[in-house]
């Protein structure tokens, strides 16, 4: 079984807005062509800062499978829509590009 942890960060300052592993935020994601759509269950208080910086977001997905190295996927939101539906408490982030790598292999190459 794969465990996934999602981070939503400010692309410029590196500030973490959401860490699903620590914050208990549930999420779903799907690939649709070149775009990746993330839907997160987030409180209105938490989403205020995210919406302030919605044009400068990065999303990171860490995938862990037993016996395998952790795979990290870095998604850049660019001009992808970021929207919040207060009625359902769902934040939708659409990323337009991604880089997939295994951190321990990446650092070994430096």
CA 50 to the chain's CA centroid: 12
Task: Give the pLDDT score at 12.
Answer: 85
Task: Give the pLDDT score at 87.
Answer: 94
Task: Give the pLDDT score at 50.
Answer: 93
Residues of the chain with pLDDT below 50 are 108-110
- Sequence ranges of the domains in the chain: 2-109
**How many CB atoms sit inside 10 A of residue 13's CB?**
9
Q: For tokens 């044009």, what's the residue?
A: 55
pTM: 0.86
* DSSP-assigned beta bridge partners for residue 41: 90
Task: Give the pLDDT score at 107.
Answer: 52
C-alpha closest to that of 98 among 63, 50, 61, 56 = 61
């Amino acid at each position: 079984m794969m465990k996934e942890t999602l981070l939503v960060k400010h692309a410029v300052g590196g500030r973490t807005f959401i860490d699903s592993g620590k914050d208990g935020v549930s999420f779903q994601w799907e690939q649709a062509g070149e775009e990746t759509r993330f839907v997160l269950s987030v409180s209105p208080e938490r989403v205020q800062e995210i919406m302030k910086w919605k044009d400068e977001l990065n999303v990171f997905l860490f995938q862990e499978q037993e016996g395998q190295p952790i795979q990290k996927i870095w998604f850049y939101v660019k001009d992808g829509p970021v929207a919040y539906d207060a009625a359902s408490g769902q934040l939708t982030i659409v990323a337009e590009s991604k880089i997939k790598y295994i951190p321990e292999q990446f650092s070994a190459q430096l």
